[in-house]
Structures are given as structure tokens and as C-alpha cells.
Amino acid sequence: MSNWKNLIFKDEPAAPPDPKAVRKRAILLASPFALLGIGALVMLAHDLFGGLPKQKIITTLSFVAVCFGLAALIIGINAKKMALRAVPSKTEDEKPWLKRKDWADGRIVSSSRKAALLLWIFVAFWCGISGAISLFIIPPSDHAAFVALIVISLALIFFTLNTTLTWRKFNRSTFQMAAVPAALGGALKGEIRVKTKLQPQHGLHLRLNCVRRATTGKANNPQKIEKILWQDEKWLRADLPQTDLNATAVPIFFKLPENLPESTATLGDGIHWKLEASAKLCGPNFDATFEIPVFKLPETPEISDDPTLQFQMSLDEVRKQIRSKIQVNDLPDGKEFIFPAARNPGFLAGATAIWLVWTAVIALLIFKHAPPLLPLVAAAADLLMTIFLANLWFHRSHVTIAASQVKIEAAWFSFKRQRVIKSSDVTNFATEIGAQVGHSPYYDLKIRVRDGQEFTVAKHLGNKPEADWLVRQMTAAVKNIPVTIPNA
């Protein structure tokens, strides 16, 4: 009797629900509604282009009913999940990293498998929708629209295939943490275990990000924004340690600042610490991402020696790898730093492509005689993008540091502007994130003076080790201290 009573009037779950079981149950329950909704949407599109009025009404009402049913189902599942999570255990309150099994075990699996699955679901949905549009909406004579849909579909399929091949080759790469959790003010230690022999062409790139994820906008049009609060990165040489003939162990060591927020144990909005590893290989490139637990502990563990030092590339090798165009030259009484225009080809190519697409949209609006306000607003945004792009293409700077002064020269074409600062007035040089593209931040190099002002020396530095090295070089030049580039 007590079992039946607990089953019906259960106030508190004996164990937390399995996320995989909840997800599978939601998919199974939602699939009929989703299929009916897609079918009703296709029938509605067909009716709008020549169907009977009665059939149109029935199809519309069916589609609305299915949408409401699906929304109610999703809301009900989420409400139950939230209710089950509302009463955490005492241990989880004290140690929030125990809420996730992979964090508690200290063995975190790469998220590439989930990304491949989500991509295939999106591709299937896109192909179904584009097929329905091709059959019922686009006129047979509109060949350009057919070609556009085919090109987009093929591009999506190619990208998804490449992601799937990467996952198949590096199936279930794991990050084994040396201590759980990683402590703020301490260090992240462990190793990435890959079940194949990695032979990078140009070394392996490691990056640790602290990201704040937030959802903004209206409820019917939410927008997810990710802002990088902190980042560190390393480059390891190709001679990585091999655990056996068919496995590779990548040592991991990152010092963690103590003034950053802790990880959010749940998915969605919050603070997420992500460890990324990538390398160019023959065939599919290696790319793995791990979300790790980082928390403030009562006692910060002592920081041990860095086991990755013997594998790290020298700064000269890193600058060669990233094809840096920044020049640093010695002068009789100081140093000069030359930041040429168009020095970030990747960033420049992406910004130029976005500008071209946006400009083409404005031209299409004008050609189609859209309401005047719409192309006018779009043109104002396009003007700002044009100024930003011109700055990327043509702005260059030249910094000369001597014993008595720091001279900063900025130039656009033949126009130049100079600023001279006394060396005694300089307090420090620093970098901060000025722009962000995805998970790739670009740093601005700034000089700060005693009266509180700060001046930008160079913008859009795409590599943190190089940016930090430039800060050290400039600081040493102001203090007239000889500096040598470290070999490791």
C-alpha cells in the first residue's frame, strides 16, 4: 500500500531524473505532434495556392490545434523537470559540481557527438521544408530559387558530413581531470585522451574560455549571446605523448584567476568554462570541446609545475604558425613596433563577406521598390559597417618607445596623426577584448598614463600569447630593461 501511495502522492523524488530518459520520452511524445504539424503546414501551403475554402479552414484549424498541443506538451515536460530539480540534496548544495555525473567523475566527454546529431536533425528539417517549398510554393519557372535551395542544402549536408566524420574518427575523446573541481586561483590540470594517434601538421592549439551565456530579446524572438570574460591559450608541438600505438594523451595545465565567476551546473544561461583543443590533420581535423567545473574552494590548492612546458612551442614558432605580420625592431635607444594594415586575413575576410551580403540586400530592397524607410535604415547600418571595414583594411599604426618618450603614430592612407607621451607618465600597458567573433576574441593593446587616460596602440590582435608578449616588450622598453624572447 505504501508503494502505491508513494507512486501517486510522491512529494520528493528518490533520485534525480535521468536527462537522457527525459529527452527520449519528450522526443517520442512530441514526434506525432511535430509530424502532424509539418503535414498540416504543407497542406496549408498547398491550399493557399488553389485549394478549396472549406479544406483551407479545416487545415488551418488542425495546424493551430497541433501547435497548441505541442506547446502544452513541451511546457508540461519542462514544468515536471523543474519540479523534480526544485529540491536538490544537501550535498549538491554544498558541492554543486556533483549535480552532473561527468563532473563528479572528473571524466568529461567531448560534445562533438551531440553537435553532429543536432546538425543532422536540422539538415533533415531543412530538406523537408525546402522540399515542401519547392513542390507547393515556388513556381516551376523560377529556376534561380530552385538552384539557391539546392546549393544551401548541399552546403549544409557537406558541413554536417565533415562534422560527423570528425566525430567518428575521434569518437568519445575525454578530458580526465586531475582534481575535481578546478579551483579559482589555482590551476586546471589533467589530460585529454584521444583513442587514435594524433599527428598534427602544425601542432595542437589549446584554449580555455570563461563565457557568460545570456538570453535577451522578447519571448517570441529570444537571442542567445555569449560573451568571453577571460581566455588563455597555448600551442603544443606535434610530438605529443603517445599512451600506446592507437592513443594519444594531451597534457593540460592552465592557471586560473581568482576574480572570475564560478561555473553554472545547469545548461542554458550562466557561466560556462570551456576547454577547446584543435589541430590540422590529414583528413578530418581534430576538434574537441569540454565543459569543465570551475569553482571557488575554501582552500586553494597549491599550483604545481606546468607539465606542458616541454611540449609548448616557442613564441617564434607561434608567430610563424599564425603568420603574424607585426614587426618588432630594436633601435639604438629603444624599440619600434609596426602594426600594418589588413594584418588579420581571417577576421578581414569574414567582415568583408558580411558587408558584401548586407550591401547586396540593400541593393535588392531598392531594386524591388521596398518602402523607403526600410532601405534607409539598412543603409545607415551599412555605412557604419563600411567605416569599420575601411578601418580594418587601411588603418596602420607605428609605435616608437625610447628612454624619454613614447610616440604613437596612426595612419589612414596619407593622413597621419601623432601623439607623444613622456615615458615617466606611462603607468602600464594592457590588453582587453575589443571584438569577438564566435569564441575568438580580438584584443586591443592600450597604454595608460598617470592622469587616468588611456590610448589605443593597436586593435584586433588575434592571438593572446602574442598580445601578452607585446605588452611585456613595451613595458621593458619603457623601463629600459633588455628583454629576450622566451624559447618556451
DSSP structure class, residue 137: T
Least confident of 80-84, 177-181, 301-305, 391-395: 80-84
Q: Extract the C-alpha cell encoding 37.
A: 504539424
CA dihedral over 424, 426, 429, 430, signed as positive or negative: positive
Highest mean pLDDT among 47-51, 428-432, 438-442: 428-432
Q: At what angle do helices 345-367 and 373-394 cross, to 10 degrees?
A: 160
In the three-class reduction of DSSP (H, G, I as helix; E, B as strand; rest coil), residue 340 is classed as coil
CA atoms within 13 A on the CB side of 179: 16
Least confident of 48-57, 119-128, 408-417: 48-57
Give yes or no for a contact between 446 and 467, defined as CB atoms under 8 angstroms apart. Answer: no
Please tell me the predicted confidence (pLDDT) of residue 87. 44
When computed from its CA atoms, the radius of gyration of the chain, rounded to whole angstroms, is 28
Alpha-carbon distances, residue 471 vs 23, 347, 434, 447 (angstroms): 49, 22, 16, 9
Give me the sheet containing 248-255, strands edge to edge: 107-109, 174-177, 187-194, 248-255
Give yes or no for a contact between 384 and 351, defined as CB atoms under 8 angstroms apart. Answer: no
Residue of 173, 165, 162 whose CA lies nearest to 196: 173
252 forms bridges with which residues in the sheet? 190
Please tell me the predicted confidence (pLDDT) of residue 175. 92
CATH code 3.30.450.20 for 174-313: no
236, burial (CB in 10 Å: exposed 0-12, middle 13-18, buried 19+)? buried
Other beta carbons within 10 angstroms of residue 320's beta carbon come to: 12
Residue of 35, 245, 283, 263 whose CA lies nearest to 165: 283
What is the tens place of the pLDDT at every residue in 302-318?
A: 888 888 888 888 888 88
Please tell me the predicted confidence (pLDDT) of residue 239. 78
H/E run at residue 467: helix 464-478
Q: At what angle do helices 112-136 and 143-169 cross, to 10 degrees?
A: 160
Give yes or no for a contact between 369 and 393, defined as CB atoms under 8 angstroms apart. Answer: no
Residue ranges covered by each domain of the chain: 1-87, 174-313, 327-478
Give yes or no for a contact between 407 and 390, defined as CB atoms under 8 angstroms apart. Answer: no
Distance between the two ends of the chain, CA-based, in angstroms?
70
Alpha-carbon distances, residue 233 vs 189, 238, 354, 438 (angstroms): 14, 16, 27, 16
What is the tens place of the pLDDT at every residue in 12-25?
A: 333 444 555 555 55
417, burial (CB in 10 Å: exposed 0-12, middle 13-18, buried 19+)? exposed
How do 248-255 and 187-194 pair as beta strands? Answer: antiparallel
**Average pLDDT across the chain, whole number:** 75
Per-residue confidence band for 476, with pLDDT thresholds at 50, 70 and 90 = confident
Per-residue confidence band for 454, with pLDDT thresholds at 50, 70 and 90 = confident
d(CA 475, CA 449): 13
What is the tens place of the pLDDT at every residue in 352-392?
A: 888 888 888 888 778 777 777 877 888 888 888 888 888 88
Please tell me the predicted confidence (pLDDT) of residue 488. 37
